[in-house]
Structure 1
Amino acid sequence: MSTTTPLVIRASDGARGRGRQYGAAAAGRIQLSLENYERVYAKFADLNWQAATAVAETFVPVVERFDADCLEEMQGIAEGAGVSFTDVLALNLRTEILFSGKARKLAAAGGRTPAECTSFCDLRGPEPIVGQNWDWIPFADGTVVVLETEPTNGPRWVSVVEAGLLAKFGMNSAGLTVLTNALVTSLDVGAPGVPYHLMLRALLETESVDAAEDVLMSADRSSSANYLIVGDGRAVDAETRPGSASDISWRAVGAGGYLVHTNHFDSDDTAFASSGTDHGPRVMPDTLFRQKRAIAMAELMPRPSVAGWHEVLSDHENYPDAVCCHPNPEEHELEQGSTVASAVIEPRRRTMHLVLGHPCAVPRVSYDYTKFFAGMS
């Protein structure tokens, strides 16, 4: 499967019907995800696939209370792809299964995990420019899809996501953009709560920054994560630990400002920061460098531009553990990190400039969603 040519899937109808369309179109990539996550869960969480699906099933009551349509859609994905519902559920719980196990093992042993994400929003120009690199294990090159969704209610939305998962980062027809970074703390023990990727999906279905904030505060979340939400001419960044409204630290990004986030907590809230140990700098040690380097490059940018941020996301300083991350051949294949996808988004223009693969080597492809977001198929 090419890393440069995305599989674009457009799904419409109700939750079950959308899931069937998605699953059928992405069946081969979903199977590849299942094969690889079986290996990943065994290595990092000491779980075989049967045990991983059993863990995933303990989340069903929480997910049903949060949004029962998510369960319907995952059932539809399973039907379309010819796999079991618990297979798809275990994929969507990859953060809860994987990071809780990795955090416990690697923080204790002093090891590291594959690289993760560098995200940004820039409000210094006349129009916002936002985006991120998504870094993960290299097998994900063959599992990425661009999911374009026409729900029966609510805004249309687009997400760049691993096949079989409900969402990752993306944008919607209400002008909202959702970017994200994995975070990991001593509190990430995999206790049932709203899973990370289902929370991303819920945020993409909201119509304003205020509504997105309400969704985050109303849920009992299972995992630590950072959510960078841009819309309504402003941006907010939410660093979250497992828990509810009191387990979120908020920062606003006003006009004339910008923010870069990687895989550690930045909160200056002493009480918040002292609750639980931030494992990010220990298990993802390049997180501190990537943020510092991206900020330094942003400061030197004459004015915000797609080209300027493309250069930031393509940067190789500290290679291979750079903003543009490349696999280190000296590491185990499942511990390697690689930039799997890179996006620079112009929300007001409804345009996403996307690279599947390394942005240093692969041209960006521009997707104009003006017509799609206006309700025109």
Structure 2
Amino acid sequence: MTTVFRSTELNSRARGKEFGHRFAAKVKANVDTYGAMFDRLSDGCLDIASAGRDALAAVSIFAPALHEEMLGIAEGAGIDPALIGALNARTEILAAAKAKLRGECSAVIHLPSDLSAPVAVQTWDWYQIFHDSWLVWEIPLADGSVTKTMTEYGIVGKSGLNTRGLGLLFTILHHTADGGKIGVPVHVAARAALDGASNIYRAAQLLATAEVSASSSINLVGFEKGIGKAMSVELHPGGPSFVLPDSEGFIVHTNHFLAPGPAACDTEPRAFPDTLLRHDLLRRGLGAIGQPTAGDVLSEMKRHEGGEGAVCCHPEPGADPANAYETLSTVILDVAAGNLEVLKGEVRTA
């Protein structure tokens, strides 16, 4: 069963402290597991605490409230704040380590031709060792709205939505410029958009100000005054780039850049061409349906062709447990109703 936690504190520092205290063991486990991964993939050559302090400094400028929340998590869990900074910057640190990591996640947004509520679904694919590392966090805000995010313990956000009609899906990207001094963590940027933006325009505008050192697609979806909207913001150093739905109302994002500019500097397709195959399978399958429901998208995501590179992926037989990779959860956004559903484990149909 998916763990759901609803904060009771409106103050950022207090909310973080409440979360850190409640989930101290889980947060510490993620800090330790990622710390070991950072050391292994960098051959122990990275100063993780220093990287974490750089992340905290970047967040303090970009999203001061989330900086306070991160400090609160550290206080509540009894952990060095620098390590919470490093945990939130896990994508950036892995980029700095020049780790040859495959992409994660397949995301689909569809805007129906009748202008009804959008469909938005994604898989979250990551290392099997993190199968119990995440939860759904519901975060009441001072304006009466609620941010709901599927995230890892100790990381402030990932995919999710707010009750103002805005949602986002998240996939990792890889660019030749990734890996510089730690910038705004992409996970923090996603959460900041959910907390601070009332619509897609404001979310994209906010994300465009994030000076990042690693790449990801933040796939925005909204339902405002009865009209669905969508846009992919491809964050990358020197970016971002923006992608709109195609002529049939689809944004399908796996782990390669869709905008032509950064695509020229994309390292993913050569290393892990499954991203191209997943994108093609999903787009053709859903295009044949025409006006897919969330259930239709879930059915298309239950594809195992390609083994570890499949849309719904599982470790190859005999895989090293430290590198075993699988679909850990599936996220379904109902931005019209403000509902976030997260299915644990393998994709199943609704």
Q: TM-score, normalised by structure 1?
A: 0.85
Which residue number corresponds to residue 325 of structure 2?
A: 337
Offset, 1:337? 1.5
Q: Distance in 1 between matches of 2:211 and 2:18?
A: 30
Alpha-carbon RMSD across the aligned residues, in angstroms, is 2.0
**What is the aligned counterpart of 2:10 among 10, 13, 35?**
13
Q: Distance in 2 between matches of 1:251 and 1:285?
A: 21
Offset, 1:319? 2.2
**What is the aligned counterpart of 1:100 among 96, 102, 112?**
96
Q: Distance in 2 between matches of 1:30 and 1:290?
A: 32
* Contact 1:115–1:286 (8 Å) recurs in 2: no
Offset, 1:254? 7.0
Counterpart amino acid of residue 227 in structure 1: I
**1:285/1:203 Cα in 2 relative to 1: closer, same or farther (>3 Å)?**
same
Offset, 1:217? 1.9
* Contact 2:121–2:294 (8 Å) recurs in 1: no
- Are 2:23 and 1:32 aligned? no
Q: Which moved more, 1:66-75 or 1:202-211?
A: 66-75
Offset, 1:42? 1.4
* Residue correspondences, number: 342
Q: Distance in 1 between matches of 2:74 and 2:56?
A: 15
* Contact 2:173–2:268 (8 Å) recurs in 1: yes
Q: Distance in 1 between matches of 2:280 and 2:308?
A: 16
- Are 2:114 and 1:123 aligned? no
Could you list the runs of 5+ residues in structure 2 that have no partner in the other structure? none
Offset, 1:93? 0.8
Q: Distance in 1 between matches of 2:61 and 2:182?
A: 12
Which residue number corresponds to residue 147 of structure 2?
A: 157
Q: Distance in 2 between matches of 1:267 and 1:356?
A: 31
Q: Distance in 1 between matches of 2:4 and 2:231?
A: 29
Which residue number corresponds to residue 372 of structure 1?
A: none
SS in structure 2 opposite 1:323? coil
Q: Distance in 1 between matches of 2:180 and 2:319?
A: 26
Counterpart amino acid of residue 263 in structure 1: N
- Residue identity over aligned pairs, in percent, reads 30
Offset, 1:302? 5.4
Which residue number corresponds to residue 369 of structure 1?
A: none
Which residue number corresponds to residue 351 of structure 1?
A: 339
* Contact 1:116–1:182 (8 Å) recurs in 2: yes
CA deviation string 1:175-203 (max 9, x = no partner): 00111111111100232321111101111
Q: Distance in 2 between matches of 1:65 and 1:187?
A: 22
Offset, 1:85? 1.2
- Are 2:274 and 1:282 aligned? no
Q: Distance in 2 between matches of 1:327 and 1:313?
A: 17
SS in structure 1 opposite 2:150? strand
Q: Distance in 2 between matches of 1:198 and 1:284?
A: 26
SS in structure 2 opposite 1:131? strand
Which residue number corresponds to residue 234 of structure 1?
A: 229
Q: Distance in 2 between matches of 1:29 and 1:255?
A: 44
Counterpart amino acid of residue 254 in structure 2: T
**1:225/1:93 Cα in 2 relative to 1: closer, same or farther (>3 Å)?**
same
Counterpart amino acid of residue 29 in structure 2: L
SS in structure 2 opposite 1:88? helix
* Contact 1:309–1:344 (8 Å) recurs in 2: no
Note the 1:69-148 alignment, pairs <5 A: 69-103=65-99, 106=100, 113-124=101-112, 126-148=116-138
- Are 2:216 and 1:220 aligned? no
Q: Distance in 2 between matches of 1:303 and 1:68?
A: 41
Which residue number corresponds to residue 196 of structure 1?
A: 186
Which residue number corresponds to residue 312 of structure 1?
A: 300
SS in structure 2 opposite 1:149? strand
* Contact 2:121–2:332 (8 Å) recurs in 1: yes
- Are 2:315 and 1:327 aligned? yes
SS in structure 2 opposite 1:58? helix
**What is the aligned counterpart of 1:210 among 201, 205, 214?**
201
**1:129/1:7 Cα in 2 relative to 1: closer, same or farther (>3 Å)?**
same
* Contact 2:304–2:313 (8 Å) recurs in 1: yes
Which residue number corresponds to residue 375 of structure 1?
A: none
Offset, 1:154? 7.0
Which residue number corresponds to residue 374 of structure 1?
A: none
Offset, 1:117? 0.8
Offset, 1:301? 2.0
Which residue number corresponds to residue 262 of structure 1?
A: 254
* Contact 1:234–1:255 (8 Å) recurs in 2: no
